[in-house]
Amino acid sequence: MNRPAPSRIPRPGKEGNVMFDEEYEVVVVGSGFAGLAAAIEAREAGRSVLIIEKMRVPGGNSAISGGMFAVVGSPLQESAGVQDSPALLAADMVRAGQGLNQPDLVRTVAEHSLEAFLWTRDHLGVAFDDALIHGGGHSLPRTHITPGCSGAAIIQAMLVRCRELGIPLRMQCALEDLVRDRDGRVAGLAVRDGYIFPQPGSGARIRIRATRGVVLASGGFSQDVAFRSALNPRLDATIDTTNHPGATAEALVSALRAGALPVHLSWIQMGPWTSRDEEGWGVGSMFTVLVGFPHGIMVDATTGRRFVNELTDRLARFRHIAMEGRDPMVIVGEEAALRYPSLTQCLKRKVVWKYDTLEALALDQGIDAAPLAETLAAYNEAAGRGVDPVFGKPVKAESRYQIRPPYYLARLKPKVHYCNGGILINPGAQVLDAGTQGPIPGLYAAGEVTGGVNGACRIQGVAICECIVFGRIAGRGAAEG
Amino acid sequence: MNRPAPSRIPRPGKEGNVMFDEEYEVVVVGSGFAGLAAAIEAREAGRSVLIIEKMRVPGGNSAISGGMFAVVGSPLQESAGVQDSPALLAADMVRAGQGLNQPDLVRTVAEHSLEAFLWTRDHLGVAFDDALIHGGGHSLPRTHITPGCSGAAIIQAMLVRCRELGIPLRMQCALEDLVRDRDGRVAGLAVRDGYIFPQPGSGARIRIRATRGVVLASGGFSQDVAFRSALNPRLDATIDTTNHPGATAEALVSALRAGALPVHLSWIQMGPWTSRDEEGWGVGSMFTVLVGFPHGIMVDATTGRRFVNELTDRLARFRHIAMEGRDPMVIVGEEAALRYPSLTQCLKRKVVWKYDTLEALALDQGIDAAPLAETLAAYNEAAGRGVDPVFGKPVKAESRYQIRPPYYLARLKPKVHYCNGGILINPGAQVLDAGTQGPIPGLYAAGEVTGGVNGACRIQGVAICECIVFGRIAGRGAAEG
């Protein structure tokens, strides 16, 4: 597709009694994976499209994410001989989600993961690593990752495509209200143009008509302390988060006011792999995700013992840490540690600590060496046999699973990571009305602002996958709308 | 207080652009415990009050509830030598609620439970039984009950008081929309007058102004299969409920559209004590609540073994039943069974079964007698010593805890019972705005339509208690508003 003419069509329109200042066929709120995927699809279907983004930089959490993509039936799985199926991913999602997931949404993600991955790789030209990851909560390895271990690579490719397509991306433009007409259809939105985050009322209020559809892809609210602690008073300002500053609830709230059905809002995910020695997501989270949990052990510093399968889902790991009052640390051997590209940075920032002997580790961390030595010996023996009899971790009988000196250690502290809940959509990415439980005409949503896909707990790599699956569905739906 | 003049003042008013057909100082939505308590308080504070109720009969779930009232520091506790405190009740609520409860709301209930109980007993003249119940999830006995084991006695006394106060109770009048004025204040409501449940759009749409406040006390949505299964797809139409037919979500949804903050909606409580041999709440639920669980054992019919502390909270009991695939039945001895006033009815309806011997029980129910005999012997031995070493049930060394022939058995099947979540209020019963997390001026709420008090799981007798505590606070707040 060659560059089309710019899609901005400032043709003031009128809907019922509401005067609009501008008009597009499709308006997308948010510039992360879901929003950009929706915009690309809608534009490629020939529609005029506007993307609005409240922050000064595009990409939201997507740009700082780990770049992990759960895929069923990928070429990498095939070459590794991993027998996967959409039904198996769906079962993993529902097990972690405690059955709160809507089955048709789960099925949609699982059945479209490969198509979404290939679109990202081939249509957008995003490179992926040639190693497969066995992520927490998955019954087998199916996670793919970008070479830099960051979602920024995907966002960059999406932004390039948006530029090629001539889609305007209006920064510092925040959704204030969705406008429903007399028939209940979302006819457009009122925004703050020139918005300065996080100042309510900053910028000028203007109304933008969307003749075919609005796509909400505004992300979660992990940074919104007042909102999240209304849902869970323990998630107050003393709890850190991995999220970017703009992960706040305003757009979600405007959808609720417009009648969208909220589900699972209090299921706010705590990441079990974040470091206590840095703020936010940092450099340490991916050390633990990529090497610490798959190839190492998590022990309680107080006891020197493991207490959970390091590869169970995030909610289960967090609950063991929180309810049992654990002081968690992860320990891994050198062969595994060196696989993490940012290891040097981790060591420099003292987020990962290197010790030549177990005694040095125990002395420096002020813990008892004896039980830790026992734990390591038992784990190495289990990993040697390829079976973890105590916690059922899926270990492989490979030498890199053996934890030998020198040891690499990271000290963990869970942080708010992801909002499992949001507004409910159907498999067509249409937002459902709280009153009728049927679609709100003209309103679509995708990504973290939605709920129902993950239920109580999202598992690794499903965020990017669902953002692209439902973002594309939402964009096509709005284009046809 | 003598009978005042009727409080209906049909003085049409205007608020912004909205024309109102009628005007009161306080309008209460719903005629259960919370609504009637609010109406009584507001009227006794001298305000004109209207109660609207969408059904043909008043009382909602309150009128068919078990009439159990959790109270801290009651005369009955004192005479029984039970050392209780508001902090202890609060701790029980938060433990069952998994910490999702808002601490200030929990504290408000715990600190006002005695005052609310005495108001119900002395001001309204409701009689209570002289036996104290140790309810599931409570660390000690604190539940009081009406002689007929029904909330109808409290509703009747409240309706009498409302009549004495001249408060109009308009039946078949359903909330359709809350009206917020330009300043964001709830100025009144649009209703369907002459509404025929459950027909949307039936009756005439009229607007009622509330110059001081609207109190939402519209209850939960356990009967609303479409709404509840959007939140939890497993709670579909195949799952029964204990609730009255009017327990649907329309009023809650109108509050969400008006900007109220929803919390914990997906925490829908399953009652672990309902019978599989009758529909709904029936006569069997209270048999299990009052005698089966406190004085008997719950076993899995398949194994003949106990599998959980019969007096832990409802969520924990339900999870054991559901996640372990249990086929639960409760068995109790005669001394305990005879304590339940409706035992004859239970036997007649084959909701409770009586057997002279264990062999007869096992044969008739098609289960293995040997493990059941072992289970009973172990339990009797434990109850004799006053300690349950396996499940930690708080058994007392009293003869009535011994389970001897003849045996009384009820077969259980969990049913949807209660909505822990709803719109968030503050300790002043003011409804909070999803956007600002501050109070919505003019809007109050109490009872099951609210969330935040119980978090993940409400425990026994707290519903009536919180309805009356927050209903009264809401009524006084609206009167002052």
Q: What is the structure's pLDDT at A2?
A: 40
Express each pLDDT in B217-262 by its tens digit: 999 999 999 999 999 999 999 999 999 999 999 999 999 999 999 9
Among residues A408, A410, A387, the alpha carbon closest in space to that of A397 is found at A387
Angstrom distance (rounded) from CA B451 to CA B435: 17
* Cα B387 to Cα A419: distance, rounded to the nearest angstrom: 43
| Angle, CA of B296, B299 and B302, to the nearest 5° | 155
Q: Is B103 on the interface with A (CB under 8 A)?
A: yes
What are the two backbone dihedrals, phi and then psi, of residue A188, each rounded to the nearest 5 degrees? 170, -160
Tokens of A117: 């991955």
Contact indicator for A471, A36 with CB cutoff of 8 Å: yes
Closest to A13 in 3D by CA, of A209, A213, A224: A209
Contact of B314 with B137, CB cutoff 8 Å: yes
d(CA A237, CA A239): 5
Spatial CA neighbour of A100 closest among B48, B321, B456, B365: B456
Size of interface A-B (CB pairs under 8 A): 87
Report the relative pairing of strands A169-171 and A49-53 from DSSP bridges.
parallel
Q: Is A263 on the interface with B (CB under 8 A)?
A: yes
Mutate to test the interface with B, among A106, A178, A261 (most CBs of B within 10 A): A261
Chain A interface includes B262 (CB < 8 A): yes
Contact call for B265 and A262, based on CB within 8 A: yes
Q: Inter-chain contact A437–B231, Cβ cutoff 8 Å?
A: no
Q: What is the pLDDT of residue A33?
A: 98
Model ipTM value: 0.93
**Which tokens hold the place of A23?**
């008009």
Q: Which residues of B touch A452 (CB under 8 A)?
A: 230
With CB atoms and an 8 Å threshold, state whether A266 touches B261: no
Token pair for A284: 């340490």
Q: How far is CA A153 from the centre of its chain?
A: 15
Chain B nearest C-alpha distance from A432 (Å): 10
Q: What is the Cα gyration radius of chain B?
A: 23
- Chain-chain contact of A253 with B434 (C-beta, under 8 angstroms): yes
**Strand arrangement, sheet containing A407-411:** A297-300, A328-332, A407-411, A352-355
Using a CB–CB cutoff of 8 Å, tell me whether B239 touches chain A: no
Q: Which residues of A touch B421 (CB under 8 A)?
A: 266
Q: Which residues of B have a catalytic role annotated?
A: 314
Global pTM reads 0.95
Q: Say how far apart CA B214 and CA B217 lie, in whole Å.
A: 10
Q: Comparing A18-32, A216-230, A273-287, B387-401, which segment has the lowest mean pLDDT? A: B387-401
Between chains, do A263 and B424 touch, taking CB under 8 Å as contact? Answer: no
- Confidence check: pLDDT of B6 > 70: no
Q: Alpha carbon of B430 to those of B211, B261, B468, B479: distances in Å?
A: 16, 11, 15, 12
Hey, are the CB atoms on A266 and B437 less than 8 Å from each other?
A: no
Helix (H, G, I), strand (E, B) or coil at B31: coil
Contact A434 B231 (CB under 8 A): no
- How many CB atoms lie under 10 A from the CB of residue A292? 28
Answer whether B434 sits within 8 Å of A256, measured CB to CB.
Answer: yes
The angle formed by the CA atoms of residues B473, B256 and A238, to the nearest 5 degrees, is: 75
Where are any strands of DSSP class E within B20-63? 22-29, 49-53
pLDDT of residue B412: 98
CA distance B194 to B185: 27
Q: How far apart are CA A116 and CA A93, in angstroms?
A: 17
Distances from the Cα of B387 to the Cα of B298, B371, B396, angstroms: 17, 21, 7
Task: Report pLDDT digits (tens) over B345-366.
Answer: 999 999 999 999 999 999 999 9
HSE (CB half, 13 Å, CA atoms) of A177?
14
Mean of the per-residue pLDDT values for chain B? 95
Shortest Cα distance, chain A CAs vs residue B256, angstroms: 6
Give per-residue pLDDT as tens, B117-131. 999 999 999 999 999
- Listed in sequence order, the residues at least 6 apart from B95 whose beta carbon sits closer than 8 Å to its beta carbon are B137, B313
Taking CA atoms, what residue in B is nearest to A266? B264
Residue with tokens 């459902």: A432
Does A435 contact chain B (CB < 8 Å)? yes
| Predicted confidence (pLDDT) per residue in B130-174, tens digit | 999 999 999 999 999 999 999 999 999 999 999 999 999 999 999
What's the burial of B115, exposed, middle or buried (CB within 10 Å: 0-12/13-18/19+)?
middle
Residue-wise pLDDT tens digits, B419-438: 999 999 999 999 999 999 99
The DSSP-derived string for B297-357 is EEEETTTTEE-S-TTS-HHHHHHHHHHTT--EEEEE-HHHHTTSTTHHHHHHTTSEEEESS
A236 and B CB contact within 8 Å? no
Residue of B102, B230, B253 lying closest to A263 (CB–CB): B230
- Catalytic residue (choose from A43, A121, A192, A314): A314
Q: Which of A440, A453, A447, A439 is nearest to A472 (CA)?
A: A447
Cα A63 to Cα A33, A59, A463, B160, distances in angstroms: 8, 5, 13, 63
Start-to-end CA distance of chain B, whole Å, equals 22
> Is A449 an interface residue toward B (CB < 8 Å)?
no
Hey, what amino acid is at A399?
Answer: S
| Pair B64, B148: CB distance under 8 Å | no
Longest Cα–Cα distance in chain B: 76
Strand partners, B241: B416
pLDDT higher than 80, residue A318: yes
Q: Which segments of A297-414 does DSSP mark as H helices, in order?
A: 314-323, 334-337, 343-348, 358-365, 369-385
CB contact under 8 A, A434 and B267: no
Backbone angles phi and psi of B147, in degrees to 5: -55, -35
Round the CA-based radius of gyration of chain A to a whole number and report it: 23
Lowest mean pLDDT among A53-62, A184-193, B70-79, B380-389: B380-389
Strand order, beta sheet including B407-411: B305-306, B297-300, B328-332, B407-411, B352-355
User: DSSP 3-state assignment of B41?
Assistant: helix
Taking residues A391-409, report their average pLDDT: 86
Beta-carbon neighbour count of residue A273 at 10 Å? Answer: 31
What span, in angstroms and rounded, lies between the C-alpha atoms of B271 and B277?
15
Chain B residues touching residue A261 (CB < 8 angstroms) = 230
CB A468 within 8 A of CB A120: yes
Q: Which of A437, A450, A454, A457 to mutate to test the interface with B (most CBs of B within 10 A)?
A: A437
B264–A434 C-beta distance less than 8 A = no
- Which stretch of DSSP H or E encloses residue A178? strand A173-180
Compare CB distances from B264 to A99, A254, A266 and report the shortest one's residue: A266
| A208 in B contact zone (CB under 8 Å) | no
Residue B70 has pLDDT above 50, yes or no: yes
DSSP single-letter state for residue B26: E
Q: What is the rounded CA–CA span in Å between residue A145 and residue A70?
A: 9
More confident residue, A88 or A182: A88
Q: How many other C-beta atoms lie within 10 A of the C-beta of residue B117?
A: 25
* CA–CA gap between residue B288 and residue B330 (Å, rounded): 7
pLDDT over threshold 90, residue B202? yes
Q: Does B421 touch chain A (CB under 8 A)?
A: yes
- The answer to whether A266 contacts chain B (CB < 8 Å) is yes
Whether B382 has a pLDDT exceeding 80, the answer reads: yes
CA distance to A115, A218, B253, per residue, from A429 (Å): 17, 14, 21
Is B250's Cβ below 8 Å from some Cβ in A? yes
Distance from the Cα of B224 to chain A's closest Cα (Å) equals: 11
Q: Are A23 and A147 in contact (CB under 8 A)?
A: no
Q: Return the pLDDT at B14.
A: 57
CB contact under 8 Å between B424 and A230, yes or no, is yes
Contact A336, A297 (CB under 8 A): no
Residue A278 to residue A127: CA distance in whole angstroms = 29
| CB pair distance less than 8 Å for A102 and B233 | yes
Which chain A residue has the Cα nearest residue B102? A233
Summarize the confidence of residues A382-400 as an average pLDDT: 84
d(CA A409, CA A310): 15
CA pair distance A117, A125, nearest whole angstrom: 11
Q: Three-state DSSP class for B404? A: coil
Residue A45: pLDDT above 90?
A: yes
Facing residue for A230 by CB, picked from B232, B256, B261: B261
CA distance B443 to B433: 10
Nearest CA to CA, how far is A29 from chain B (Å)? 18
Of residues A470 and B390, the one with the higher pLDDT is A470
- Mutate which of B186, B225, B231 to test chain A, going by most A C-beta atoms within 10 A? B231
- pLDDT at residue A399, rounded to an integer: 63
- Whether residue B103 and residue A435 make contact (CB cut-off 8 A), yes or no, is no
Q: Say yes or no: B227 contacts chain A, CB-CB below 8 A.
A: yes
- Mean pLDDT lowest for which of A1-10, A234-243, A404-413? A1-10
- DSSP-assigned letter for residue A233: T
Let me know: does B417 contact B399? Beta carbons within 8 Å.
no
